[in-house]
Amino acid sequence: MLKGLRLLTLPALLWIGLGQAAADDGIGCADHTITASAIRTKGDVKAFVRCAYEFVQEVGTIEARRAFNEDDRWRKGPFYVFVNGIAGSGEESIAYAYPPDTSREGLVWGALVDNYGNDLVSEFDRVLTLAGSGWIYYSFWNPATGRDEPKASYAIEIDWNGDRAAIGAGIYLSDVPGTCDSDDVNAAVLDADPSDEVLREFVRCAALKVESEGYFAMAELEGGSRWKHGSIYPFVMDMMGNQVLSGSGIRLNGNQLHEWGRRRAPTDQFGGRDIIGVGEQFGEAFLYYRAINPATGARQGKVGMLKRVVAQGVPLLVGAGYYVSPGQPGRATSCSDNYVTARAVHTRRDIQAFVECAAEYVTEHGPAEARRAFNEDARWLHGPYYVFVDEITDNWAQSIVHVFPPRPAQEGHPWGSLVDNFGTDFYFELNRVMSIVDAGWLHYSFTNFTTGRDEPKSSYIKRVEWRGGAAAVGAGIYRRDLPGTCNSAEVSAAALDGDPTEKNLREFVRCAAMVVESMGFFAGPVLESDSRWSSGTVYVFAMNPDTGTREFSGYEGRSPEIANFRELLLETLFDGRDLLDVADTFGEAHWYYGYPNPASGNSEAKVAFLKRVLAQGVPLLVGSGVYITGTE
């Protein structure tokens, strides 16, 4: 029997438009295929639904319904494909595909009402009419836990045997990165499951605590049971490399981190590399080193992660790590589970999947064919994205280049010395990392052959066999291409106004949010008056989710003063649905609504993106929007 919606003070419905998504990157299932078992993020869910949509077009509704219910590709734990009829209310909506309970299929859902008194199906109808596809935030039964839980689903409008329907899939809030529920993210969980994914969440949640509480977080992070278990603990450093706090039993606050020894000393295991500079430049960085494991007393390899934050106006690095044993395999998905081509790369997670596919290609086809394909095939080459293969050897200064598409003439020869802006040789770092783990990240500075400039780059590398020897196959993404880089020449209101896509809108808002995080309420005058943040119909606004008041807006003076946006949102834009709580609960959210366009004088469909931040301890929703008609 279908479990009903639990009435919580949680968000309502929200969507991202199909036309908007198409204008964003044009990526289809041919470039990015992911299975239910490989889903980790909202981006994965979106790719999963795109593939489900294309699958229906290819095989028809009968075979699609069977596959969605039976095949491992389409269902794993809480991840599955649903197809529901779109109608004015749940009393008219038919469940066409619902793998958790196939007995519901072919029947009307009945009332699906959330905490705000709105029928979910009517909200599907409202937003899909505006945009065609997108995200919905609600509370629903989780078949993996047997409980009703907050959930974000992505859906696309589809023709199902002549009827309007929504095909979609979702991810529960507890599975969304950055959720920071203490039951799911703690030192004991990381100690029991030491992986990069779990480490990343542990560090990000510790960083959120430092950002919100500053130095007042010290007592809990150093002594709280949530943050220390076995050899797992967080630490915080300033930008001079001095330890500010540490959950380790050996506390040397005010000194260099004891695990690393003195930076730049001749015996430094990083070869003189400026690790603090790496963390500061990249915002998030993995590092690999050796330290004494207190549980064993032995010197072991360790995987660490650093995240840059600003606490009480001071830049800091928050970190943690876990020990690895020689030969210990890392967690990875196969290319059949997460297939990414060079054209589809947008994030570090995409790069990792791309390299996993390249490593499998080497194993399956051999070095000769792999070298040809990496140099010639569009699957492996697109703009700044390509696959490289380098020899792993103790004589790192003579490491042979096996594959390098930007300059094939270099192949078969050593590069020689390649010292980057962080003070060490690229090949020294590659060989050092590969001596500790079989797959990992390099953060360095390298020539971007698309721009012709030397730029910071993050590359994922994986050990493979190459003609009887060890080699590292890898690919990278330049910092300028990473979400949140915020280069003023590339992220601005004028750039968004000229190219109003979902991706550009998201970046614009995230960068404005970073200004608010660092400057607090002093950011208001900057975001309201600086030409970088206002152009045409594009501007930045901020609202208090608790009071519903607008704190600032770049549109000030060009529209009547509205003291309480909650009243406007409830009564005018969203048919009574309070979408302030959507963004407040999920941290980031899209809004779709009709609004007058001053450029045309007509009411047009508009998409806004909002991000929750803390400004001097006060929660704010920073956002901006674009008209959908300009994106298709």
Each residue of 120-131: pLDDT tens digit? 888 788 877 888
C-alpha separations of 7 from 138, 368, 426 in Å: 10, 60, 55
Please determine, for residue 487, whether its predicted confidence score (pLDDT) is greater than 60.
Answer: yes
pLDDT at residue 8, rounded to an integer: 28
pLDDT at residue 571, rounded to an integer: 65
- Of 488 and 268, more confident: 488
Average pLDDT over residues 352-365: 97
Lookup: tokens for 396: 């790192």
Strand arrangement of the beta sheet that strand 550-553 belongs to = 550-553, 541-543, 618-627, 602-615, 588-597
pLDDT at residue 51, rounded to an integer: 97
Instruction: Kindly report, residue by residue over 270-314, the tens digit of the pLDDT.
Output: 888 888 889 988 889 999 999 888 888 888 999 999 999 888 778
Please determine, for residue 28, whether its predicted confidence score (pLDDT) is greater than 70.
Answer: yes
| Domain 493-630 grouped into CATH 3.40.50.1110 | no
Average pLDDT over residues 233-249: 88
Cβ burial, residue 103 (10 Å; 0-12/13-18/19+): exposed
Average pLDDT over residues 331-342: 88
pLDDT at residue 174, rounded to an integer: 75
Which range has highest mean pLDDT (8-12, 114-118, 579-583)?
A: 579-583
Residue span(s) of the chain under CATH 3.30.450.20 come to 18-175, 187-324, 338-481, 493-630
- Of 131 and 259, more confident: 131
pLDDT at residue 2, rounded to an integer: 30
pLDDT at residue 484, rounded to an integer: 53
pTM here is: 0.84
d(CA 16, CA 20): 7
pLDDT at residue 7, rounded to an integer: 27
Neighbours of 412 (CB within 10 A): 11
d(CA 91, CA 85): 11
d(CA 521, CA 511): 15
Level-2 CATH architecture, domain 18-175? 2-Layer Sandwich (3.30)
- Of 134 and 390, more confident: 390
| Domain 338-481 fold | Beta-Lactamase (3.30.450)
Out of 3.30.450.20, 3.30.465.10, 2.40.50.140, 3.10.20.30, the CATH code matching 187-324 is 3.30.450.20
Look at the block and give the residue holding tokens 């993050």: 458
pLDDT at residue 263, rounded to an integer: 46
What's the pLDDT band for 143 if we cut at 50, 70, 90?
A: confident
pLDDT at residue 570, rounded to an integer: 64
Average pLDDT over residues 240-259: 74
Please determine, for residue 572, whether its predicted confidence score (pLDDT) is greater than 90.
Answer: no
Please determine, for residue 339, whether its predicted confidence score (pLDDT) is greater than 90.
Answer: yes
